Amino acid sequence: MLRLLLIYTLIGLWSTKTISQEKEPNPFTIKWDNGFEVDSKYNNFKLKFGGRIHLDHAYFSQNDDLDVAFGELESNDGTEFRRVRFFMSGVIYKNVEFKLDVDFAGGASRLKDAYIGVKNIPIIGRVRVGHIKEPLRFDALTSGKYITFMERAIPADLANERNNGILLMNDFLDNKLSVQTGVFRNADDFGNDKEAAKDIAITSRITTLAINNEEKKQLLHFGFSYSYRKPDKEEYIISVRPKSHLAKKYISTGLILGVETVNIINFETAFTSGPLTLQGEYLGSSVKQELPNFSETYSFSNYYGQVSYFLTGEHRKYKNSYATFGRLNPKNNFMNGGSGAWELALRYTHTDLNSKSINGGEQGDITFGTNWYLNPATRIMFNYVWTDINHKDTGGGNLNVFEIRFQIDF
């Protein structure tokens, strides 16, 4: 009897404890928002983790003129994992933020975003320290998950997308005016530059939202950025491939020695009206060379213009000045009452690497794209690229690229 009473007592105590635990609010919640998120009860702590997979296939053909100028293609097709990334980001005690993003594509690990930041600072706004994107080029600031075409318009070789440094940014006038500025050092794939001496890059950007009508789904964005760069090794090179990462590079400045400074300016604009989006940029790079008994300044440029339209009526969403465009949410997901979202896009890009004694060549790319968004996290991209290459020394010709990407991010 005593043993039975003891058992009933233990069961009662366990039941009471279980009920009381069930009544207590869970301090953390786990949810899916196109990726896993963990939030604390009062939003003091937030954690998000996920990744992305971009699998590309491409098919190439070049005309006889390009065969003569640069040699026949070694292969007419190729495939690669363009991006294989895992990330974790979060907020601690409401004000401290962090992110760690690592890419494993190509069989080697490379550090992407890796920073610690503090937000909601009076007057200053937000500060981030670590391996981060420089505030330069609208297309480069847009996440690779959300760009309209498989490859960005402005080559990364004109200036690093990410570097190790400190970034300050703030928004004013109800987010109509945004300013970002930072000081950076050229970093390797792990965000390190242990031997840096004089190497420095100072990059600033200012943008404005002339129109931001969410009800009419209209937006007009203008921006200007400037970067002053002083390479420690006094070397600079720009080499550009057609708008396919699997294509080889046809035009290049070659290695420029004795580089004192590099100055880069960039003008950007973007306009959305319902399913229509227009976007364009111009980037100019001025390279000052100082050698014994010789001084010269070279100028190189890149510009593009693009238009896209959602046949299914969606519209591109603007996140903020620094992150630019964000995720596309189809009105009806594929196989869940609809066909997903369908987008058509057209872009022209031109790069000029000729300046004075440097004959790097010129390249024009016309890209036609079709994007099929099965759901907010899954997309299939089709790109056709026609490239016209002109080189004063070797001649030129045309390249055709057909490529497809299977993409998922979570």
Domain contains 331 = yes
Q: CA 341, CA 315: separation in Å to the nearest integer?
A: 10
| Residue 36 in this model has a pLDDT that exceeds 90 | no
80, 54 in Cβ contact below 8 A?
no
pLDDT at position 25, please? 59
pLDDT for 182-235, tens place per residue? 999 876 655 555 555 568 999 999 999 999 998 899 999 999 999 999 988 888
For residue 19, report the phi and psi dihedrals to the nearest 5 degrees. -65, -40
pLDDT at position 337, please? 78
CA atoms within 13 A on the CB side of 409: 20
Write the Ramachandran bin of 197: left for phi over 0, alpha for psi from -120 to 50, otherwise beta. alpha
Please give the average per-residue pLDDT across 61-85, as a whole number.
93
**Alpha-carbon distances, residue 181 vs 142, 196, 217, 236, 322 (angstroms):** 17, 21, 29, 23, 11
pLDDT at position 29, please? 87
Q: CA 365, CA 400: separation in Å to the nearest integer?
A: 10
Q: How many CB atoms lie within 10 A of CB 124?
A: 12
Domain contains 2 = no
Domain that holds residue 355: 52-82+149-409
pLDDT at position 187, please? 64
DSSP 57-77: EEEEEE-HHHHHHH---S-SE
Domain contains 89 = no
- What is the model's pTM? 0.88
Start-to-end C-alpha separation, the chain: 58
Domain contains 127 = no
Q: CA 186, CA 224: separation in Å to the nearest integer?
A: 22
pLDDT for 312-351, tens place per residue? 999 999 999 999 999 999 999 998 778 999 999 999 999 9
Q: How many CB atoms lie within 10 A of CB 159?
A: 23
Considering its fold, how many domains does the chain have in total? 1
pLDDT for 121-142, tens place per residue? 998 999 999 999 999 999 999 9
| Residue 1 in this model has a pLDDT that exceeds 50 | no
pLDDT at position 4, please? 40
Domain contains 170 = yes
pLDDT at position 190, please? 54
pLDDT at position 195, please? 57
Q: CA 361, CA 354: separation in Å to the nearest integer?
A: 6
| Residue 68 in this model has a pLDDT that exceeds 60 | yes
Domain contains 242 = yes
105 vs 7: which has the higher pLDDT: 105
pLDDT for 155-184, tens place per residue? 777 888 999 999 999 999 988 999 999 999
- Residue 182 sits in a domain whose CATH number is 2.40.160.10
Residue 91 tokens, joined: 């907020």
Domain contains 290 = yes
| Residue 361 in this model has a pLDDT that exceeds 70 | yes
Domain contains 8 = no
